[in-house]
């Protein structure tokens, strides 16, 4: 089997933006990304050229000196077949199930709303606890009648578009924003895969600034604790009066700090939904 090379980088939470920005400039073909329970992020880049990865590692070392790196030779796999072997459906709340395209229409999930995700990049397949938490919260809010068809939503850090697609399949309309152009492409592909119209789910590049001046009945932000805290005034401002705000992408140990930033904007105490070490903050 053909041999390729893998550069693995583990960056601290405060170094995430710098590391991700450098990778966006240097790695046009994409990378894997995994949030660790420690708050760190693991990046993996696969390439046939060892020299390219060595040079990339040197650049990362200069820009993010505290990041840990490992360069190793690995066997190339048929990644599509690997996904088919290991991708398992993810049930979220009482309503949703996240499925790969090859399981679309499986009668086992006939009682759930399917969200089809092409699992070829790490932008949110539902397997990460924070994505599953958000879908579970959306399911609960629908069950409670707190959100309903005809309302509007903002999906900030949309990734694969999984949350926005789930909302659209229950009659909401809104926009999904992401600063990563690869994520935007992935969300657009998944929107088409789920037969969700461009009118119902507008997907584009950008952060909270792109939504300035608008308000939404439901605001979803599944990103990281630090940007959630820094953007608290702007995120709180796009929540319509009486609307719902859901924040995720944070560890339980980070929840107090993030919640404090939003209470400083006049919000009451949040409800917390926890899965292991991960937490979602809900103002409903």
E strand or H helix at 22: helix 16-26
User: Do 109 and 67 fall into the same domain?
Assistant: no
The answer for 105, left when phi > 0, alpha when psi is -120 to 50, beta otherwise, is left
Residue at which a domain ends, from 16, 49, 76: 76
Axis crossing angle, helix 50-63 with helix 16-26, rounded to the nearest 10: 150
**Mapping DSSP to helix (H, G, I), strand (E, B) and coil, where does residue 31 land?**
coil
* Residue span of the structural domain in which 213 resides: 82-283
Q: Are residues 184 and 247 in the same domain?
A: yes
Q: Which pLDDT score, from 0 to 100, does residue 276 have?
A: 85
Domain count of the fold of the chain: 2
Predicted local confidence at residue 102, as pLDDT: 84
Q: Which of 76, 106, 136 is the last residue of a domain?
A: 76
Q: Which among 20, 4, 7, 1 has a CA at the least distance from the CA of 226? A: 20
Note whether 59 and 148 are same-domain residues. Answer: no
Residue 20 is predicted with a pLDDT of 85
Q: Going by DSSP bridges, is the β-strand pair 41-47/3-11 parallel, antiparallel, or unpaired?
A: antiparallel
Query: pLDDT per position in the chain (284 positions), as tens?
Result: 678 899 999 999 999 989 988 998 888 777 888 888 888 999 999 888 999 999 999 999 999 999 999 999 987 666 556 556 656 788 999 999 998 888 888 899 999 999 998 875 555 666 677 888 999 999 999 999 999 999 999 999 998 999 999 999 999 999 999 998 888 998 999 999 999 999 999 999 999 999 999 999 999 999 989 999 999 999 999 999 999 999 998 889 999 999 999 999 999 999 999 988 889 999 99
d(CA 215, CA 243): 9
111 and 229 fall within a common domain: yes
**With left for phi above 0 and alpha for psi between -120 and 50, is residue 36 left, alpha or beta?**
beta
What pLDDT, on a 0 to 100 scale, did the predictor assign at position 68?
96
Judge whether 153 and 173 are in contact, CB under 8 Å.
yes
In this structure, the answer to whether residues 67 and 206 fall within a common structural domain is no
Q: Which candidate, 139, 85, 137, places its Cα nearest to that of 111? A: 139
**Judgement on whether residues 46 and 149 belong to the same structural domain of the protein:** no
- Which of 76, 107, 125 is the C-terminal boundary of a domain? 76
Q: Are 142 and 170 in contact (CB under 8 A)?
A: yes
d(CA 33, CA 123): 8
According to the model, what pLDDT value does residue 124 have? 63
Question: Which residues lie across from 74 on neighbouring strands?
Answer: 4
Of 192, 153, 190, 188, the residue nearest 170 (C-alpha): 153
CATH number (domain holding residue 56): 3.30.70.120
pLDDT score recorded for residue 205:
95
From residue 174, how far is each of 18, 92, 156, 162 by CA, in Å?
A: 30, 21, 11, 13
């Amino acid at each position: 089997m053909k041999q390729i090379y893998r550069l693995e980088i583990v960056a601290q939470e405060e170094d995430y933006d710098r590391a991700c920005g450098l990778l966006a400039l240097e790695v046009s073909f994409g990378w894997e990304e995994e949030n660790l329970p420690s708050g760190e992020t693991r990046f993996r880049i696969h390439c046939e050229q060892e020299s390219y990865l060595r040079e990339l590692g040197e650049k990362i070392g200069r820009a993010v000196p505290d990041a840990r790196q490992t360069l190793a030779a690995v066997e190339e796999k048929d990644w599509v077949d690997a996904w088919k072997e290991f991708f398992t459906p993810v049930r979220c709340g009482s309503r949703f199930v996240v499925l790969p395209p090859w399981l679309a229409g499986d009668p086992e999930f006939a009682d759930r709303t399917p969200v089809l995700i092409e699992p070829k990049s790490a932008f949110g397949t539902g397997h990460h606890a924070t994505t599953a938490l958000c879908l579970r919260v959306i399911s609960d809010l629908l069950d409670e009648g707190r959100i309903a068809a005809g309302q509007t939503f903002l999906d900030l850090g949309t990734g694969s578009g999984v949350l926005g697609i789930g909302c659209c399949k229950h009659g909401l309309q809104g926009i999904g924003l992401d600063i990563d152009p690869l994520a935007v492409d992935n969300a657009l592909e998944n929107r088409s895969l789920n037969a969700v119209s461009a009118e119902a789910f507008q997907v584009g590049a950008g952060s909270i600034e792109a939504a300035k001046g608008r308000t939404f009945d439901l605001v979803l932000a599944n990103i990281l604790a630090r940007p959630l805290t820094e953007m608290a005034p702007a995120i709180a401002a796009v929540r319509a009066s009486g609307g719902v705000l859901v924040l995720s992408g944070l560890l339980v140990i980070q929840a107090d700090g993030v919640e404090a930033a939003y209470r400083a904007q006049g919000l009451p105490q949040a409800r917390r939904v926890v899965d292991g070490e991960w937490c979602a903050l809900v103002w409903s």
